[in-house]
Structure 1
Amino acid sequence: MELQRYEKAKAYVYEQFAKINNEPLRIAALTHTAMVDSCITLLAISRSSALEKAKIAALFHDYAQYIDNCAHSEHARLSSLHAHQYLTQAKEFKVYEVDDICFAIAQHSKKEIFDSPLCELLKDADILARFLEDPNKPLTGIARQRLIDALADINN
């Protein structure tokens, strides 16, 4: 399992996060991104999905929320633009890979909509990570069902 492109992207993202002056925001960026990365790894393996693309999507999924401190309603779209810029400048990704990753990032906040397998991985990993970060926070509706389904996939 080769993850060289992921390792480069991870170094870039974490280098950018290290520059965040607001300590609570920097800590949130590092911890949540790491948690989503771990969760997406489990889910991608359990669902036999492309691991490297999934892990790169996890790295960038909330990027703008932490780097730009943007409104939550804009973070998915803006994060996908940051990812697109990085991925195209890296010149190591095929156009369809960039499109898949960026689409998943742009869609990850729309938990009630079902999208591509990569989108679903990212949405489910985000919910699983939020649950693991605060298991006392109540989950209802689609978020609760996504969590149950994700846990079942990992268990199988």
Structure 2
Amino acid sequence: MENFDRYETVREYVYGEYSKIGSRAFRVAAITHTSAVDTCITLLAMSRNSKIEKAKIAALLHDFAQYMQNCAHSEHARLSSILAHKYLSSTHLFKVYEIDDICYAIAQHSHKESYDSPLCELLKDADIMARFLENPNMELTGIKKQRLLDACADLNGSD
């Protein structure tokens, strides 16, 4: 059984920072989306027999720069990975390879068209699934639609 103490520390930090966002709508969007990705990645990690704690931490920090710095969407994954690296290193709770795995997944999560490490794939799929659950009327095509369908099949235990 995994220990989620480090996850709780990161969660308190992320939501504490989000509570400082001045715009109510932006603050709600940050909390809602982050929470949805966290939930989706938990289910996907369980279905794929992946480490849940590391996946949940990546989910918490994957859009951090977008919400805290209101940066350009094209830069948010890279900038979020930099902020995540600084924060996770400062906690002294993680091994270097864990920080590298988490931050790499965050940096790559916008590249939905390419396939990568299992943690990257979890984060990409959880992000798409969360966006769809937030707005089931959104149009999904191509690789995003296929990722959603494959993720749902994983949850269902189907191949």
Q: TM (normalized to structure 2)?
A: 0.97
Counterparts of 1:106-125 in structure 2, within 5 Å, are: 106-125=107-126
* 1:46 lines up with 2:47 in the alignment: yes
- Percentage of identical aligned residues: 66
Instruction: Report the equivalent of 2:38.
Output: 37
Counterparts of 1:129-148 in structure 2, within 5 Å, are: 129-148=130-149
Displacement after TM superposition at 1:133 (Å): 0.3
Distance in 2 separating the partners of 1:82 and 1:59:
12
Q: What's the Cα RMSD here?
A: 0.4
Q: Which runs of 4+ in 1 moved over 6 A?
A: none
Distance in 2 separating the partners of 1:12 and 1:18:
10
**Structure 2: gaps (5+ residues):** none
Distance in 1 separating the partners of 2:137 and 2:93:
41
Counterparts of 1:2-151 in structure 2, within 5 Å, are: 2-151=3-152
Letter aligned with residue 114 of structure 2: I
After superposition, the C-alpha distances for 1:100-153 in whole angstroms (9 at most, x for unaligned) are 000000000000010100000000000000000000011000000000000000
After superposition, the C-alpha distances for 1:11-60 in whole angstroms (9 at most, x for unaligned) are 00000000000111100000000000000000000000010100000000
Q: How many residues get paired?
A: 156
After superposition, the C-alpha distances for 1:47-98 in whole angstroms (9 at most, x for unaligned) are 0001010000000000000000000000000000110011100001011000
**Structure 1: gaps (5+ residues):** none
